[in-house]
Chains A and B, each alone.
Chain A
Amino acid sequence: MLVYGVALLSACLIAGMLIGEALGVLLGVEANVGGVGIAMLFLVLASNSQRFKNLTQGAAGDGIKFWSAMYIPIVVAMAASQNVAAAVDGGVLAILAGVLAVVVSFALVPVLARIGKSGSDEGGAA
């Protein structure tokens, strides 16, 4: 059943969000700490496990794949509902702070990615 996969996906998201929200309360932070990331971890564990085979294979798996494939269209809708006008109106300071933060962070990607490589046997993929 297609809906089994969708239900599993939903359960993962809700469980992750609950943990993320609880983490936020524990840390005294007004934010959900990693709820989506934790939910993804649950889905990875479920899809790699034999126990959840009935919820991740065949038609049930297609239910999850559908939402995975809807990801880019949803991101396009997300882009269309961003407050771009406010970003443009933010003035030189806001634009400069945003742009420089991105440039410096981009530059750090290859530097930090090396930590991952030296810690594993993977070498050639760069």
Chain B
Amino acid sequence: MDVFETVFVRNNLIVAFALVGVVMWFSYLLADKLTQGRIHGSAIAIALGLLAAYFGGVAAGGTRGVADIALLGGIGLMGGGMLRDFAIVATAFGVHLSELKKAGLAGVISIFAGVVVSFIVGAAVAIAFGYTDPAEITTIGAGAVTYIVGPVTGEAIGASNEVITLSVAAGLVKSILVMIGTPLVARFIGLDNPQSAMVFGGLMGTTSGVAAGLAATDPKLVPYGAMTATFYTGVGCLLGPSLLFFIVSAMF
């Protein structure tokens, strides 16, 4: 058993490559045989990943899904920020500049619209649940923007720890729902071309959600959505503790 553990922990990234490979193979098999290709294999793989993350998180009591299980630590490295960003940038290879220019303006507008709309929705839910303190309303609203904007805003304006935790949870729900929901709604919201993908990335903003959601819908759209989505968290961190907080403070 010790030998097993030594090899797995010492080579954790390699273990992750092998394991994810098996999951991909299994998912594409399911997609092919069970759904006749109607559901994308990568959508099934991502859903399996999320499911595993839930059970891993419950079992290990950590914050990084299955990556907190010692033998599967490499999954955290493989799916961590560094390799994720590296692969996202690589998807831009072969993209034509003209496609980006076409949706440039709509893309920029969608980033600001996305931050403000998600914030308003989150803040409205907070108010509906009886929150009256502007710092708390702002923090929960910011959590609905992304799970990074929530705590950054909350800490900047002095919200309590419980409210910050709540804002992270709201952001996580958003990110996971975008991963699962995007392939299901893509047809109904016209998400089938580079321009709408850029708008989609700007509106949703959660990099992980957009990255996985588009991968499960049509991998060709990934670079366009990712491009705008990566500006979203920055804009959210900029507006949350400043403009949006001032507006909420003036109202309550």
Contacts and interface: CB of A to CB of B under 8 A. Distances in A.
Asked if A pairs with B, the answer is: yes
Most interface-central of A13, A97, A109 (chain B CB within 10 A): A97
A34 B228 CA distance: 8
Contact of B170 (A71, A89, A98, A115): A98
Interface string A74-109: 111111111111111111011111111110111111
Interface stretch (B1-9, B31-39, B48-56, B244-252): B48-56
Specify the main secondary structure of chain B where it touches its partner: helix
Interface in B77-115: 78-80, 83-97, 100, 102-103, 105-107, 109-110, 113-114
Contacts of A85: 53-54, 57-58, 65
Interface residues of B, number: 117
B173 interface: yes
A123 to B, nearest CB: 11
Contacts of B58: 85
A104 B190 CA distance: 15
B199 A112 contact: yes
Contact of B215 (A34, A72, A89, A93): A72
A109 B199 contact: yes
A64 B67 contact: no
Interface string A34-56: 11110111011101100000001
Using C-beta atoms within 8 Å of the partner chain, give the interface range for chain A. Answer: 35 or more
A112 B189 contact: no
Contacts of A66: 90
A24 to B, nearest CB: 6
Contacts of B135: none
Given A12-B89, A23-B234, A115 B106 contact: yes
Contacts of A125: 192-193
Given A35-B230, A40-B223, 7 more contacts: A10-B86, A64-B90, A80-B56, A102-B174, A104-B118, A105-B117, A119-B102
